[in-house]
Amino acid sequence: STQIHLATRPTGVPTPENFATVRTELPALAAGDVRVQNAFISVDPYMRGRMSAAKSYAEPYTVGEVMTGAAVGHVVESRTPDLPEGTVVLHEMGWRDISQGQASAFRRVDPPSDDIPLSLYLGLLGMPGLTAYVGLTRIADLHEGETVFVSGAAGAVGTAVGQFARLLGARKVFGSAGGPEKCELILQKYGFDEAIDYKKEPIRDQVNRVIGDDGLNVYFDNVGGDHLEAALDVLAPFGRVAMCGAIGQYNATKPQPGPRNMANILQQKLRIQGFIVSDHAREAHAEFQRVVGQWLAEDQLVYDETIIEGIENSADAFLGMLRGENTGKMVVKI
Ligand code: NDP
């Protein structure tokens, strides 16, 4: 089987040299084991954090070991009646073509129809979708008739946030993304009311101009830094910020200064809350599956995926995602 390992830890922006492709012989299955042929593996921003040694909410990767993370595939060999051959499973064994181990390390998924690509369990129906749902309903406490701004709006989490916000009754949805194509896409395909291209002009000027008069009730932050500062300018009294990510800073080599307008938090009585989706999975996952599954069945949701083929191109997919080469969820097809 082929696996991708962390070869060295990056300083600043990661490069292909930080990864190694390793071929291994897999042992025969033990009692209770399954072997899974992965269909898709996920590359996600949080993996950048895990490549560094610094302690964060997710354990650092070990140099010389597999880049673990979410993947979905089919059981191709089984030594347990719990997960017979052909079962579709999700797991966290990451960047490899074949995964095997005890059945308890795999979670069965039951796609409601053949129309649903398995890759959706890494995106809209998976961790990024749940992140959008939890952020809006549990953290930002979005109410009907409110306005929402999401940064990273053309990505996996962002495209879900924009659509869920609308379906949950938001009055206006604003998004920011890099470049005119992504901005056009979120307006035309995802129904955003306004799109801000942060690469065109300083984000703070644009946010003040585009959102200022409406007043902002909820900011869903995927980028941090200058984007958070921009949102703090326009948040209305009792506005909320769901701090989901700060991808604008993940490659920084030293701590970045905070927003210069922190006084607005007091003046506008804002609430800013960070969250990690895994803390909410137990409580929110069943509701997420029901509500979002229903929306999907009713054709109320759309999605994009950027699919890179071949396990050996996993690092390229990951590095491309950090550079913004994805629209919607970036996945690797095995
Ligand atoms: P995306 O699909 O959004 O991919 C990452 C995107 O980030 C790129 O496409 C790029 O889009 C954008 N980006 C990269 N560098 C910058 C920059 N310097 N400034 C602004 N945008 C940048 O990834 P996800 O949807 O998976 O994740 C989005 C965010 O959500 C991340 O911050 C991630 O860490 C966070 N997250 C947090 C979770 C939690 O539990 N708290 C769970 C899941 C995700 P563009 O072309 O627009 O620049």
pLDDT digits (tens, 9 = 90+) for 133-168: 999 999 999 999 999 999 999 999 999 999 999 999
Q: What is the pLDDT of residue 114?
A: 84
Q: What is the pLDDT of residue 129?
A: 98
Among 330, 268, 267, 286, residue whose Cα is nearest residue 47? 330
pLDDT at 112 over 90: no
Same domain, 231 and 151: yes
Q: Which atom of ligand 1 is nearest to the CA of 326?
A: 9
Same domain, 147 and 239: yes
Q: What is the pLDDT of residue 56?
A: 87
User: Given pLDDT bands bounded at 50, 70 and 90, which one contains residue 254?
Assistant: very high
Same domain, 147 and 6: no
298 is a domain residue? no
Please give the distance, rounded to the nearest whole angstrom, from the Cα atom of residue 76 to the centre of ligand 1: 34
Residues with CB under 6 A from ligand 1: 44-46, 128, 131, 152, 154-158, 177-178, 182, 222-223, 244-245, 247-248, 275-277, 321-322, 324, 326, 329
Residues 220 and 136: beta-carbon distance below 8 Å: yes
Residue 108 belongs to domain with CATH number: 3.90.180.10
Please state which of the ranges 104-113, 140-149, 164-173, 284-293 shows the lowest mean pLDDT.
104-113
Same domain, 10 and 136: no
Same domain, 176 and 37: no
**% of the chain residues with pLDDT over 70:** 100
DSSP letters spanning 197-244: ETTTS-HHHHHHHHHTTT-EEEEEESS-THHHHHHHHHEEEEEEEEE-
178 is a domain residue? yes
Residues 160 and 132: beta-carbon distance below 8 Å: yes
Same domain, 165 and 200: yes
Please give the distance, rounded to the nearest whole angstrom, from the Cα atom of residue 319 to the centre of ligand 1: 12
Q: What is the pLDDT of residue 161?
A: 99
Mean pLDDT of 284-293: 97
Strand partners, 66: 5
pLDDT tens, residue by residue, 76-97: 999 999 999 999 999 999 999 9
The structural domain count of the chain equals 2
Q: Could you list the residue range(s) of the whole structural domain that residue 16 is in? A: 2-123+305-333
26 is a domain residue? yes
Q: What is the pLDDT of residue 3?
A: 98
Q: What is the pLDDT of residue 33?
A: 98
214 is a domain residue? yes
Residue 147 belongs to domain with CATH number: 3.40.50.720
Give dist(CA 131, CA 127) in Å, integer.
Answer: 6
Same domain, 133 and 240: yes
| DSSP 8-state secondary structure symbol assigned to residue 25 | P
Q: What is the pLDDT of residue 201?
A: 98
Same domain, 314 and 266: no
Same domain, 218 and 264: yes
Residue with the two structure tokens 């050996």: 312
The amino acid that residue 32 corresponds to is G
Same domain, 243 and 312: no
Same domain, 16 and 115: yes
Same domain, 274 and 131: yes
> What is the ipTM, given to two decimal places?
0.99
Please give the distance, rounded to the nearest whole angstrom, from the Cα atom of residue 22 to the centre of ligand 1: 28
187 is a domain residue? yes
- What mean pLDDT value characterizes the chain? 97
**% of the chain residues with pLDDT over 90:** 96
Q: Tokens in use for 20?
A: 């190694």
Query: Which residue's alpha carbon is nearest to atom 34 within ligand 1?
Result: 245
User: Given pLDDT bands bounded at 50, 70 and 90, which one contains residue 315?
Assistant: very high
222 is a domain residue? yes
157 is a domain residue? yes
291 is a domain residue? no
